[in-house]
Amino acid sequence: MKAYRQALNLFRLAPIKRAMASVDTSNKGQASGAAAEFAAAHSADHPLKLYGGWFCPFVQRAWIVLAEKKIPHQYIEINPYHKAPEFLALNPRGLVPTLAVPVEGGAKNLKPLYESTVICEYLDEAFPDEANFGPRLLPPDDVYERARCRLWIDHVGSRIVPAFYRFIQHTPDKPHSIEDVSSEFLGHLKAFVKEMDSNGPWFLGERFSLVDVMLAPWAKRLFLIDHYKPGGVGIPAAGERGEDEEVWSRWEKWRDAVFARESVKKTWSNEDQYIDVYKRYAEDTTGSEVGKATRQGKSLP
Ligand SMILES: N[C@@H](CCC(=O)N[C@@H](CS)C(=O)NCC(=O)O)C(=O)O
């Protein structure tokens, strides 16, 4: 009961500034650029609340869905590394994104949800009206295609994303070489790209879907590997790709479409801020749960 009351108190922290007062934000700062504008435009009290961190790719997934479907909501920037009891009462895992969801009966009945994939599917299902919220993000009329989308969403979460962290957290003292982590990452990426509709630009062809949403935040963060790791991501230049020519040019078509997508642009801060924040990943000194799990060879939280 106490935890529930604490959770309600956090829900009641309406404007961003009041929420910020309760958490330590010293090392994380704020969104900048387009993401700051998007956050400010959604700072007023609203029963649907996204608790996020501007730097977090898992948050960006949920943020993209909110932007894509133009769902009215409140964005509240918090520092997830500061495990305030009010935050843990909402999400015992202590991670962002966390969503406060209104249920029938008014603001007092808000309930929390967490895990980016769960939040994204919830938002798509809770706002199904295509006239108001645009096309559904999982194909509503084809049960096999929906299942196939979930299969490749799982591939992103269980293969590509963990390999991204092994790559960016690679340091010369590791037992495996940077070439090993690079080829592991590129192998998982290629397997994904080969499943894409061949014309594109999206995974499903002309239809933008949750599969695209799930990978987009890491596609945007690949420049950090080019910035920090010798040899960079390692995708060969056009004309030097041998049998992979087709797969990498399909990747670039998808990536360019993602970079041009309004919902992705709206949820992106200035690049130098990401360079700053990811330095501790690149040096493998981060104390984040994702960083620790990667260092210890465990599965991601
Ligand atoms: N599986 C979670 C992962 C979320 C996650 O790891 N978020 C990070 C920020 S990018 C976090 O809240 N970290 C807090 C910590 O490591 O203590 C999801 O998909 O939502």
User: In the prediction, which pLDDT does 104 show?
Assistant: 75
User: In the prediction, which pLDDT does 170 show?
Assistant: 97
Q: In the chain, what are the domain boundaries? A: 2-133, 143-295
pLDDT in tens, 70-104: 999 999 999 999 888 989 999 999 999 999 998 77
98 CA to middle of ligand 1, Å?
A: 10
CA nearest ligand 1 atom 17, residue: 81
68 in contact with ligand 1, CB cutoff 6 A: no
pLDDT range class, residue 142, cuts 50, 70, 90: very high
What are the backbone dihedrals phi and psi of residue 137, each rounded to the nearest 5 degrees, phi first? -95, -5
Per annotation, catalytic residue among 7, 56, 160, 213: 56
Question: Other CB atoms closer than 10 Å to residue 265's CB: what's the count?
Answer: 16
96 in contact with ligand 1, CB cutoff 6 A: yes
Mean pLDDT along residues 154-176:
97
The CATH class, in words, for 2-133 is alpha beta
CATH of the domain spanning 143-295: 1.20.1050.10
Dist. CA 209–CA 196, nearest whole Å:
12
Does the annotation count 120 as an active-site position? no
| Whole-prediction pTM | 0.91
Token pair in block for residue 135: 């096309």
63 in contact with ligand 1, CB cutoff 6 A: no
Dist. CA 285–CA 288, nearest whole Å:
9
Sheet strands side by side (includes 98-101): 74-77, 49-52, 98-101, 111-114
DSSP code of residue 158: I
